[in-house]
A and B are shown apart, each in its own frame.
Chain A
Amino acid sequence: MYTDMDPRQFEHSVVDDNDIHSIVMSYLLHNCFNETADSLASCTGVKQPSDDRDNIQRRKQIIHFVMEMKALKAVELTEQLAKDLLEKNKDLHFDLLRLHFVELVCARKCNEAIEFAKTILAPFGTVHKYVEKLEDAMALLAYDDPEKSPLFHLLSSEYRQQVADNLNRTILEHTNQPSYTPMERIIQHVTVVRQYLTEENGKDAFPPFSLKDSLKG
């Protein structure tokens, strides 16, 4: 089971700089930081696939629309980018539409919100899994100040970020790109491996992985 190499001897393992640059680049591209990516490319010479340019630009815009409370525009652009993506991902589609409803309520456009809910959201209500989510959104109407309601998290930027991330991953998947970055995967691996080692050998030998501590050096 245990190889000759002692896991604590990780300091002796050699890491290639190019690998690191690739990892960072893939992270930047995943999150649409195209300007930073350009900068990194010119400094290190690491390549970025050029046909991805367009995809990155579009994804960047779509994500921004979600964060800026323009969910319908995000939906429109997504449909331009990948025609049947939202059809195949009903849950995501629903979340985006629900965001639009929330936006309308926040903007005090209750009339429009009700119309939108009746025509676009209500049909989802026939499927059991959407019913509770729909009810949560509708409940916002019962409050003068939606931010003071028990459903305030629907208005938060954290929630919008969550939906945006989900949309980003789905688009990448749809265009046959990895939906998770190598960076995320590596951190996940390390966490699990360290957990295993801790269980086998006790906390003193191998404390669980902590990113924060690693960053301190």
Chain B
Amino acid sequence: MENGLWELLGSKGLLKRHEFIRILVQCLYSLGFKKSASCLEHESNILYKSADFGLLEKQVLSGNWDSCLAVLDRIFDSSSDHTRDTALYLVLKQCLVEYLKQGDISLALNVLRKQAPLLGMGKEKIHRLACDIVYTKEMESGEADSFLVQDLRKNLLVELEKLIPLPIVIGERRLEHLVESAVLHQIDTCLYHNSWDAVSLYKDHCCGRDQIPSETVQILMAHKNEVWFVQFSNSGKYLATASSDCTAMIWKVLDDNKVELKHTLESHQNPVSFVSWSPDDTKLLTCGNAEVLKLWDVETGVLRHTFGNNNTGFTVSSCAWFPDSARLVCGSSDPERGIVMWDTDGNEIKAWRGTRIPKVVDLAVTPDGESMITVFSDKEIRILHLETKVERVISEEQPITSLSVSSDGKFFIVNLSSQEIHLWDLAGEWKQPLKFSGHRQSKYVIRSCFGGLDSSFIASGSEDSQVYLWNLKNAKPLEVLSGHSMTVNCVSWNPRNPRMLASASDDQTIRIWGPGKPNKPEKWLDNQKMQ
């Protein structure tokens, strides 16, 4: 005990050696290695159980209540009155239980009348003890079952342990907790972190490019003109694309993550710039800036309905579904059309029209169906709570081109033509948005999306034909993916596969991106610096 008691460990000398050994002993005990634990106790001369606690344990288990109370008095000397009172209460209650079991009423009453006040127990607690005599089951006088009494004493000890202050008693599983804290902290600073697999303790945790989609694994060529929109279905099993060739296409994602064409949806007369999957993935909506809204059946690829009573002037720039997959809402680029809510049979349920409803740039419904977010031409975002009719307005300083909501419904991002992506919270607590930049956007509609584990990443298209990826913790891009030869208009991150991303480009192709090769050592260091 003499040598090394006050010795310090760790490169900064912050860790006390005897504490370190004590939690090691605790860990060995909790893992079931009793022999090793007591061997370590012997070798190091450091016991897991402090002397005071050992003494208390002995008194409680043998029912020496007077000595027990004396030890408690010492232990709780500097504690708050409340913990001390609770400990006293528990011990006296056990005394009552034991005396009543023996049928010794006068001893029991003596505890209440003489001992409790002598120990300084408050009137309220004494009255509570009196009540316990009647209420508590254990106070049935019966055979003084010695096993039962021992069990009760052990329980008392467990309860007392919870009240006893450090360092006489230390919290459970202390070492495990400390290691886990360190790991969580490393994960926090890990920018590529994209899965909840268990981490290795052998090295400091730091994920690499192999965790996120960063290499082209497939190029889809089927559209005959610029591809303006791409989106995975909610199940991640399908992909929908829309093109200026006036078609939309439904693709299937196979088990090996290869994508193949399933349906080509032909009916539109004009370029299709937007699609929306119903929450149950059975229906698809397609529309365009100068084109009407159509509803398709996903399984068969058959056109179900064209909205707007065959009025070819009813152009819809964007649309969104409600969680019931039976109602949808669409916004028009023509201010006279306004915003309209429909059912899937084409019946109008509700409409917002008038001077307050200018041209709609983009529209979304939160996953819980409670709020509708609309981007109005061209700098205003309005969040309307559909039931309370409460509206929140955010005015951006630059034109907004697109809107995307996170899957947990807590955040949304907008792309601005000033080459910034702004992240806002739906709860409305933030005064300023989080800003992300690095990509190119000035002339065209460029879209972005959330993705990855817990939506901790953002992906965006760009006018420099690259795909940009950010970790939400960092305003500068994490990865820049090259491959396309022209402007990348839209991206979609597979909601069920955090390592799969799709991008749509003016070069008429769609690229599927998958896990990259692990970082080269130089790149590794770069990531660390970025913090």
Contact = CB atoms under 8 A, between A and B. Distances in A.
Interface string B103-145: 0010001001100100000010011111101110000000000
A150 interface: yes
Most chain A CB inside 10 Å of its own CB: which residue of B109, B113, B128, B130 = B130
Contacts of B129: 142
Contact of A138 (B109, B113, B134): B134
A27 B134 CA distance: 42
B135 A142 contact: no
Contacts of B116: 142
Contacts of B126: 139, 142
A131 B105 CA distance: 24
Nearest to B112: A142
Given A143-B113, A150-B123, A138 B131 contact: yes
Nearest to A114: B133
B95 to A, nearest CB: 14
Contacts of B112: 141-142
Interface string A66-99: 0000000000000000000000000000000000
A118 interface: yes
Contacts of B105: 110-111, 114
B130 A141 contact: yes
Nearest to B131: A138
Contacts of A125: 134-135
Contact of B113 (A135, A144, A150): A144
A135 B131 contact: yes
A110 B109 contact: yes
A122 B130 CA distance: 13
A142 B130 contact: yes
A142 B123 CA distance: 9
A28 interface: no
Interface string A41-64: 000000000000000000000000
Contacts, number: 43
A142 B113 contact: yes
Interface in A142-157: 142-144, 150
A135 B127 contact: yes
A117 interface: yes
A24 interface: no
Most buried by B among A110, A122, A142, A143: A142
A117 B135 CA distance: 9
The A interface, classified by DSSP as helix, strand, loop or mixed, is helix
Nearest to A136: B127
B113 A118 contact: no
Contacts of A138: 127, 130-131, 133-134
Contact of B134 (A111, A121, A143, A150): A121
A154 B134 CA distance: 19
A132 B130 CA distance: 13
A122 B109 contact: no
A121 B135 CA distance: 10
Contacts of B130: 138-142
B121 to A, nearest CB: 10
A172 interface: no
A138 B109 CA distance: 12
A121 B129 CA distance: 17
A129 to B, nearest CB: 16
Contacts of B109: 110, 141
A1 B109 CA distance: 67
Interface string A103-126: 000000011001001100110010
B141 to A, nearest CB: 9
Between A114, A140, A143, the greatest number of chain B beta carbons within 10 A of the residue's beta carbon is seen for A114
A192 to B, nearest CB: 41
Counting chain B CB atoms within 10 Å of each CB, the highest count among A110, A138, A144 belongs to A138
Contacts of A121: 134
A183 interface: no
Contacts of B135: 122, 125
Nearest to A143: B113
Contacts of A143: 113
Nearest to B117: A142
Contacts of A23: none
B94 to A, nearest CB: 17
A141 B133 contact: yes
24 contacts: A110-B105, A110-B109, A114-B133, A117-B133, A118-B134, A121-B134, A125-B134, A125-B135, A135-B127, A138-B133, A138-B134, A139-B126, A139-B127, A139-B130, A139-B131, A141-B109, A141-B112, A141-B133, A142-B112, A142-B113, A142-B129, A142-B130, A144-B113, A150-B123
Ranked 3 nearest A-B pairs via Cβ = A139-B127, A142-B112, A138-B130
Given A142-B127, A143-B113, 6 more contacts: A114-B134, A135-B127, A135-B131, A142-B113, A142-B129, A150-B123
Interface of B: 105, 109, 112-113, 116, 123, 126-131, 133-135
Interface of A: 110-111, 114, 117-118, 121-122, 125, 134-135, 138-144, 150
